[in-house]
Amino acid sequence: MPTTPLNSLKGVILDAASLGEGVDFDPLEQQLADFVRWDSTGPGQTLTRIQGAHVVFTNKVVIDAAMMRAADNLKLICVLATGTNNVDIAAAEALGIEVRNVNAYGTASVAQHTLTLMLALATRLVPYQRSVQQGEWQRASMFCLMHHPVMQLSGKTLVLVGHGELGQEVERLALAFGMHVKVAARPGKTDDTRPSLDTLLPEADVVSLHCPLTPDTQHLINQDNLALCKPTALLVNCARGGIIHEQDALNALRQGLIGGLAVDVLTQEPPRDGNVLLDALHEGLNLIVTPHSAWLAPEARQRIIELSAKNVADWKNP
Ligand SMILES: NC(=O)C1=CN([C@@H]2O[C@H](COP(=O)(O)OP(=O)(O)OC[C@H]3O[C@@H](n4cnc5c(N)ncnc54)[C@H](O)[C@@H]3O)[C@@H](O)[C@H]2O)C=CC1
Ligand SMILES: O=C(O)C(=O)CO
């Protein structure tokens, strides 16, 4: 709850351009007496820009403990996303700064992307497209190519990590494809009675990740449990890059320990310093990388603004 008079609250958005074209920011502006909009903010600029603001809006700009301590008036951080891993939540709590994110703004968009990746891996869409582009169909001895193994999803087992908003919607869509769905116990939660991920991996045909990136989920998928997978298993990550140990997953794919890997998220975004998965895209593997685009439907992006405006309104009038 703000101690500053409601009619003098100052807000700043640090990376407005990350919401894309066609988004109406009015609902946010209306919540604040003063609203400064920056399209993007580099790490060295954050502190200066949040100085004096009571409410800071960030999609992916990092706000760490030192910045929070140095920011004079900061009372509320609104993350314009579901994942809050760019904000030091523990530091905010210790300093009495509230952090609110948005949930369920893009369920349809992210779930459809997850199914897209799952289907593309299962049908070997990318390897077959590559074969066609390389003229293999034209040179074939019969009417079709069949050198990449296609997996029928119906009747197969999907293992989900994370069964919140997105995990449940992916489950609903997977059930429509005739899959059996199993949910793994929450990582790091000792009283969760559901089977552990490692118990479920040997029976998984597809694994899809829908949990936040936290110390408990960092490198949740690694060489140890990749070794438990079926050689045909498909792994999909639309959650956060750091949940998968990327080098281990790539090694597993190269060695045939898993049958496919599709990620919408990488450990570093944008991957300015390169990334092992990007380097491997030309190797002819059943590997797909999309550029954190699962959430991009216009309906989802506008909903972020509306839900964030509600976050501010609820904070002002608890
Ligand atoms: N690729 C993209 O465009 C998008 C990615 N995301 C990612 O998907 C994740 C899941 O989103 P939602 O399903 O909407 O979130 P949610 O909060 O509704 O569900 C998260 C689920 O993960 C579980 N979980 C597992 N380990 C956890 C831990 N250590 N701490 C807290 N919860 C844990 C929770 O119990 C819950 O079932 C987000 O955290 C975000 O990282 C979200 C939106 C778009
Ligand atoms: O909402 C999220 O967590 C996303 O990754 C999209 O910004």
CA of 114 to the centre of ligand 1 (A): 13
How does residue 187 score in pLDDT terms, banded at 50, 70 and 90?
A: confident
Ligand 1 neighbour 217 (Cβ under 6 A): yes
ipTM exceeding cut-off 0.90 for this assembly: yes
Q: What is the mean pLDDT of residues 215-226?
A: 98
pLDDT in tens, 31-80: 999 999 999 999 999 999 999 999 999 999 999 999 999 999 999 999 99
* Chosen CATH of 6-105+298-316 out of 3.40.50.720, 3.20.20.70, 1.10.10.10, 3.40.50.1370: 3.40.50.720
Residues 6+ apart with CB under 8 A from 72: 51, 52
| pLDDT above 90: residue 166 | yes
* pLDDT for the residue 7: 79
Q: Find the 283 Cα to ligand 2 centroid distance in Å.
A: 29
Q: Which of 37, 203, 292, 306 is catalytic?
A: 292
Kindly report the average pLDDT of the chain as a whole number.
97
Q: How far is the CA of 82 from the centre of ligand 2 (A)?
A: 5
Predicted confidence (pLDDT) at residue 1 exceeds the cutoff of 80: no
Report the CATH architecture of 107-289. 3-Layer(aba) Sandwich (3.40)
pLDDT given for residue 221 in this prediction: 98
Euclidean distance between CA atoms 45 and 179, whole angstroms: 48
Q: Which of 240, 245, 301, 303 is catalytic?
A: 240
Looking at residue 129, the DSSP 8-state letter turns out to be: H
Whether the Cβ atoms of residue 174 and residue 207 lie closer than 8 Å to each other: no
Answer yes or no: same fold for 6-105+298-316 and 107-289.
yes
Q: What are the helix (H) ranges across 44-100?
A: 46-50, 65-70, 89-95
Domain ranges of the chain: 6-105+298-316, 107-289
- Measured from the Cα of 188, ligand 1's closest atom is 29
| Residue (of 66, 49, 91) closest to 58 by Cα position | 49
Report pLDDT digits (tens) over 249-290: 999 999 999 999 999 999 999 999 999 999 999 999 999 999
Contacts of 273 (CB under 8 A, 6+ apart): none
Average of per-residue pLDDT across 225-230 = 98
164 ligand 1 Cβ < 6 A:
yes
Which of 101, 267, 295, 304 for mutating ligand 2's site (highest number of atoms within 8 Å of CB)? Answer: 295
Cis peptide before 187 (omega within 30 of 0): no
- What's the rounded Cα separation, in Å, for the pair 101 and 67? 19
Ligand 2 atom with minimal separation from the 294 CA: 6
**Residue 309 predicted with pLDDT over 70:** yes
At 122-157, the pLDDT tens digits run: 999 999 999 999 999 999 999 999 999 999 999 999
Q: Is the dihedral of CA 29, 35, 41, 44 positive or negative?
A: negative
